[in-house]
Amino acid sequence: MANQPDLITLTDPVSPISEAYRTLRMNLQYAALDEQLDSLLITSSGPDEGKSTTLANLAVTMAQIERKVIMLDCDLRRPSLHELFGLRNDLGLTDMMLDEQSMENPPLQETGVDGLQLLASGPLPPRPADLLGSKRMGAVIAHLNESADMLLIDAPPVMVATDALVLSAQVDAVLIVISAGATKREQAQQAVDRLNRVNAHILGSVLNNAVVTTGIRTY
């Protein structure tokens, strides 16, 4: 069973926070009018800033408008998307990286939301950045893109590991989650600087846990 308190777009779809996620979805739709946006990497500057919860709720809202969405958990250090949806993690991305049969038939899991699937991380490797920066990873992303309207990728925080930096070259855009009252301005700027140095396409940011009427704000 899904971790209901975190998936507010399912438990309370008429709440201001759920509406804010739909606004974020709409903003991304407008962005896609001018540029290709089939794969979106979601990260943060540091841990516990809500990136995975943001990704999960955004994915739900996209699936609710009849888009086929695949969530890909590339946080091979602290994967959590499977926990949010109450799914297993013994098979996933790392199997696709090593097994040709899994590559041809990805171990996608149904989430209980029509049109929304998850490719969990699978068993955690010893050197995640090497795996995520490989040509094989690019092939995995391309293969999954063929099966979905949108691929949403969860990556570790930028200031914790280089994983998000190496992945940014293989996706259309990057979205940064910032936690109000927790993320320091300097830390957020350093994360942006690191992404800019690898020529990542930063689409924008999401301000999470803000004390406003919606509880979440995009800019």
Q: Cβ–Cβ contacts within 10 Å for residue 104, how many? A: 9
The pTM (predicted TM-score) of the whole model is 0.92
Could you give the CA distance from residue 91 to residue 114 in angstroms, rounded to a whole number?
21
Of 7-16, 82-91, 152-161, 205-214, the range with the lowest mean pLDDT is 205-214
Report CA 38 to chain centroid distance, whole Å: 12
pLDDT tens, residue by residue, 27-70? 999 988 888 899 999 999 999 999 999 999 999 999 999 999 99
The confidence score (pLDDT) of residue 4 equals 62
Question: What percent of the residues of the chain are helix, what percent strand, and what percent coil, each to the nearest 5?
Answer: 40, 20, 40
- Average pLDDT across the chain, whole number: 92
**Token pair for 92:** 């996933």
Identify the structural domains of the chain with CATH numbers, from first to last.
4-218 (3.40.50.300)
The confidence score (pLDDT) of residue 215 equals 44
